[in-house]
Structure 1
């Protein structure tokens, strides 16, 4: 110990009394290896006190009175003139105290660690687990209600969904052909396509009006199917709006208008997330639909969608018509031409 080496050669004189019924005698005090040695003037050791078990009876007072721990009757007095020795004892006791184990402090640190771990569990794992639980238990009819509420909110911005008696059958056929519950054509609002809870896929009118091949619109629906497989739209809603939404949905089965508005504004302002080509191609293959028309609709040069073109699962294979020409024409006019 550095502090010990500094004080190893210090000596002082003091008055020592082994018990109250014995007269005090003058002694020589020296510091040893973690001990205080009390000797007579013939250098004969009278006693050894452990520095770690040394107590001062009058902190700050003089003469400084020390005694071994648990034995206040045996005392050593050091006058104020022995400042160096008194300071050495004080400093060495502090150094010894720092070096010894502190069970109380360790216990406090252990408790604090447990508390931090529990808080981290509550803040990180519990919301995640709650959201996963809600996604797994919300019934399909409630998902459709949520999707319908979001669609109503979008229609306040985009205008009412396009509809006509002549085209409704074609719209239903397109949904069945692409494997989704419902397809909705909007005059504006969505940039291209969007999937909502309850198996609802929204398409911008341009996807049916600006393309002669119904495989393009079908391709965008297939892309939304792939996104739904990668992440449930209800899970996306809960991720964006927080654990409070999950708790409210679990306990009341309802979402407030503010929650619906916040989600709708956020999701409409962002581009649709991209997916790996392999994930997209797998769903195109499941639906027996070509990926090439969709790829060229996204990039007319084909440079950024080369994987979807070269690995088209329907290339060189007989293809079932997406919609009859008559139905496709009717669908192209669903928004009034």
Structure 2
């Protein structure tokens, strides 16, 4: 299903190349709920899934239309089918309209207050300015910054995987856990999970290919939440961007995307700190209990012998009894496992 029902069965042909040096090849295009699926014209094998919300048209108004999945040089798609081009632009407009947009009056009031605050910013230490930004930035903007970090991370991991059923399963998993706004599965370069600003989660495929149960993916997210409990992910992002970027965020409500360059790779290079100390294990077990998730599958995923995570097995809050509700339904779990296929 697409964002607009009239385009639900729409397909078209296009010319796609994976890198600037590659030869263009004929492909078959179809619209998903929030993605453009690119398939091999002969084998019908999926070659790429592009986020419609992030899709960039390189030649607005030009024919044929030229699209790329991001600002970075790489993949390019040429579409001559005017109906498909019209559908993409209309679906993009619908997706944009569904995003949270703070009210204009509220934004003006917030901006005026922050401009006043910024007058005294020259007297603050840079750390104090970052702390203030972390305190006042709205949830919607935090999530935008989280997506910005994820896009930078995708330079190293590849573009996050998408499928209609898999995306629905990720949404269900995000709704099942606390303080999670959205989850993205990246195809490589990440083990476990990382919590990004605004409750955005980057999830590694290792959580989907080990023990055949969604408790492993849920456990990885719970463990990542506990590991970063001492520092708000937004604080870490703004510390990387610098006090100048924090001031821009305070005064304009926006954070320049270029200030996040390299931060995604830094997040990837910093493993989730799990020491399995008694205090840490107790805190993690409390998180599993609050989320209604068994800790045993996650324990065996991080150590198949169970020895390194024995506390998570022996004190599993649901040991010997089922959790209140499944993490995911069976069909959702199967769709999630196949999201990068």
TM-score (norm 2): 0.58
Corresponding residue for 1:247? 247
Corresponding residue for 1:334? 339
TM-score (norm 1): 0.58
The answer to whether the Cα contact below 8 Å between 1:225 and 1:283 also exists between their aligned partners in 2 is: no
The answer to whether the Cα contact below 8 Å between 1:158 and 1:189 also exists between their aligned partners in 2 is: yes
| Count, aligned residues | 215
Which structure is larger by alpha-carbon Rg, 1 or 2? Answer: 1
Corresponding residue for 1:212? 212
Q: How does 1:297-308 map to 2 (within 5 A)?
A: 297-308=301-312
The answer to whether the Cα contact below 8 Å between 1:162 and 1:186 also exists between their aligned partners in 2 is: yes
1:293/1:135 CA distance change after superposition, 3 Å: same
Corresponding residue for 2:327? 322
CA distance in 1, matches of 2:122, 2:271: 30
SS at match of 2:340: coil
Q: How does 1:42-121 map to 2 (within 5 A)?
A: none
CA distance in 1, matches of 2:225, 2:265: 22
The answer to whether the Cα contact below 8 Å between 1:215 and 1:289 also exists between their aligned partners in 2 is: yes
Tell me by how many angstroms 1:233 deviates. Answer: 0.6
1:160/1:262 CA distance change after superposition, 3 Å: closer
The answer to whether the Cα contact below 8 Å between 2:185 and 2:205 also exists between their aligned partners in 1 is: yes
SS at match of 2:288: helix
Deviations 1:259-298 (A, max 9, x none): 2113222211121223611221221111011111111111
Tell me by how many angstroms 1:228 deviates. Answer: 4.8
CA distance in 2, matches of 1:233, 1:334: 26
- The answer to which of 271-280 and 162-171 deviates more is 271-280
Q: Identify the match of residue 293 of structure 2 among 289, 292, 306.
A: 289
Corresponding residue for 1:104? none
The CA RMSD over aligned residues, in Å, is 2.4
Gaps (5+ residues) in structure 1?
A: 1-121
Q: Which has the higher contact order (CA 8 A, sep 6+)?
A: 2
